[in-house]
């Protein structure tokens, strides 16, 4: 037993495996197996439920510079061709793994894209309606906003060593406050600012209990979620419902098309015809990445999250750095919370975040505590959610429950097969105290 386990460092233990030999080339067959499972499922779907007819992809909107014609393809042929591409990638991955080399990321991206196109062709086959690619993509960008903001907040907090399970609570507090302040002032900007402040307040409580009182971070996070759900639901039924017109009817942010850029086909409507909150999200992802990996502040945050004692020794104030990171993370999550009540719809509803904070938490881990990857993971969740919406318009043959399930199954396979052992910041979860 010891002989086998000795070769596999840190089996199933805490993610902190920094003393394991890291130079060892660790090519595993996990990726190949994961891709294989997906491909087999895909093939089974096509074999068991073939769809005749053609799929119609609508690529343009009426305001584009030039109009791309509707793309009509024979459904089953396309689906099988895409499956063939997937098989090619799988073989490539197998060959590379056999040679002891890692599977390149682009191969996995090609695999995912091919199977997605094939699946869409299969699902849209024979439908009289066009499948709007623009609608699919722009909806995904909109739906991923709270998840991405929440994930950014989580990344900053965890990089500094404070596990943030309370993202859900921060989103909800932000949404609630934005609804009230936005309704009273009639200004979405005021709502946005209030959401940021409210969410930072939740973060302050998180920081106070985890940093100052050194309570277990997971406990505080879980409990804060319950607390915020309780408080917002209580005030929702006691205060907001009786005064819905004055306190729970916000003005939403308008779409803010970027001149000219929005008229580029596909890219324009997806990226450049969104609300200001979405543009701020693009900026925030870049800024957080830059701040964490290219500035002195980021170096300190990461040092505090990896080895607080060492950071303290060289003169970094661990407590202050962590407080600051947690508060900034909370402010980020607040922007995501505001999305619900001043962008998406114009009123607050009980528990309206519906677990998005936990999805954001999953995105943090999925993205390996990296802002860019976490944002991409959030985008994936947004895409999968929107895919279901779009396909139900087209009239998909798949039961809607399975479409809704799909993002989570894909995440499971991805986490198990591709991401594998994710390593959290070493000190995440530990309170720090000087001797």
Binding residues for another protein (CB under 8 A): 1-2, 5, 10-16, 30, 209, 213-220, 222-224, 226-227, 229-231, 233-235, 237-239, 309, 355, 358-359, 361-362, 365-366, 399, 401-402, 404-405, 408-409, 411-412, 415-417, 419-422, 427, 429-431, 433, 435
For residue 417, the minimal CB distance to another protein (Å) is 7
By three-state DSSP, how is residue 124 classified? Answer: helix
CB of 339 or CB of 432, closer to another protein: 432
Q: How far apart are CA 325 and CA 92, in angstroms?
A: 42
Structural tokens at position 420 = 């594998």
The answer for residues whose C-beta is within 8 angstroms of residue 99's C-beta and 6 or more apart is none
Q: Shortest approach of another protein to residue 306 CB, angstroms?
A: 12
Which residue lies nearer to another protein by CB, 120 or 414?
414
Contact 248, 238 (CB under 8 A): no
The CB-of-117 to another protein minimum distance in angstroms stands at: 24
Question: Which residue number, 259 or 399, has a Cβ lying nearer to another protein?
Answer: 399
Q: Which is nearer to another protein, 397 or 420 (CB)?
A: 420
Which is nearer to another protein, 258 or 413 (by Cβ)? 413
Q: How far is the CB of 65 from another protein (least distance, A)?
A: 40
Ramachandran region of residue 315, left (φ > 0), alpha (ψ -120 to 50) or beta?
left
Q: Which is nearer to another protein, 10 or 88 (CB)?
A: 10
Q: Which candidate, 369, 362, 354, places its Cα nearest to that of 414? A: 362
Question: Which one, 70 or 212, has the nearer CB to another protein?
Answer: 212
Which residue matches tokens 């900034």?
328
Rg, the chain, Cα only: 23
Number of H helices and E strands in the chain, helices first, is: 18, 5
Least gap, CB of 410 to another protein (angstroms):
9
CB of residue 30 to another protein, shortest distance in Å: 6
What's the min distance (Å) between Cβ of 317 and another protein? 18
Convert 82-93 into a string of H (helix), E (strand) and C (coil): HHHHHHHHHHHH
Query: In this structure, what are the phi and psi dihedrals at residue 284, rounded to the nearest 5 degrees?
Result: -65, -40
* Rounded Cα–Cα distance for residues 124 and 385 (Å): 17
Determine the angle formed by the axes of helices 371-394 and 356-366, rounding to 10 degrees: 130
């Amino acid at each position: 037993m010891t002989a086998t386990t000795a070769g596999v460092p840190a089996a199933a233990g805490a993610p902190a495996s920094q003393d394991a030999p890291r130079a060892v080339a660790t090519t595993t067959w996990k990726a190949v197996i994961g891709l294989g499972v997906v491909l087999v499922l895909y093939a089974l779907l096509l074999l068991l439920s073939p769809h005749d007819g053609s799929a119609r992809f609508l690529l343009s909107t009426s305001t584009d510079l030039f109009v791309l014609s509707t793309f009509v393809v024979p459904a089953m042929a396309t689906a099988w061709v895409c499956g063939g591409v997937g098989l090619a990638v799988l073989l490539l991955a197998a060959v590379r793994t056999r040679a002891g080399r890692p599977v390149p990321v682009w191969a996995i991206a090609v695999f995912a894209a091919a199977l997605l196109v094939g699946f869409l062709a299969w699902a849209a086959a024979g439908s009289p309606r066009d499948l709007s690619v623009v609608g699919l993509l722009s909806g995904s960008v909109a739906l991923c906003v709270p998840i991405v903001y929440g994930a950014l907040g989580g990344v900053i907090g965890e990089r500094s060593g404070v596990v943030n399970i309370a993202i859900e609570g921060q989103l909800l507090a932000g949404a609630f406050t934005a609804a009230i302040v936005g309704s009273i002032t009639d200004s979405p900007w005021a709502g946005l600012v209030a959401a940021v402040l409210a969410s930072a307040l939740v973060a302050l409580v998180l920081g106070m209990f985890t940093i100052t009182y050194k309570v277990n971070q997971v406990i505080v996070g879980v409990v804060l979620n319950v607390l915020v759900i309780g408080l917002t639901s209580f005030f929702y039924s006691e205060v907001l419902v009786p005064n819905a017109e004055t306190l729970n009817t916000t003005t939403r942010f308008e779409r803010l098309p970027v001149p000219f850029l929005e008229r580029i086909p596909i890219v324009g409507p997806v990226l450049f015809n969104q609300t200001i909150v979405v543009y701020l999200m693009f900026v925030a992802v870049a800024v957080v990445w830059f701040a964490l990996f290219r500035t002195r502040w980021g170096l300190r945050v990461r040092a505090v999250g990896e080895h607080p004692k060492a950071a303290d020794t060289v003169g970094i104030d661990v407590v202050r750095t962590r407080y600051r990171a947690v508060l900034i993370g909370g402010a980020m999550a607040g922007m995501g919370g505001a999305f619900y009540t001043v962008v998406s719809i114009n009123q607050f509803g009980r528990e309206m975040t519906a677990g998005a904070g936990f999805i954001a938490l999953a995105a943090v881990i999925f993205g390996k505590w990296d802002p860019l990857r976490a944002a991409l993971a959030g985008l994936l969740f947004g895409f999968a959610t929107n895919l279901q919406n779009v396909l139900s318009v087209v009239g998909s043959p798949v039961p809607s429950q399975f479409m809704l399930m799909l993002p989570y199954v894909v995440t499971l396979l991805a986490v198990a097969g591709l991401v594998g052992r994710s390593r959290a910041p070493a000190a995440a979860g530990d309170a720090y105290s000087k001797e």
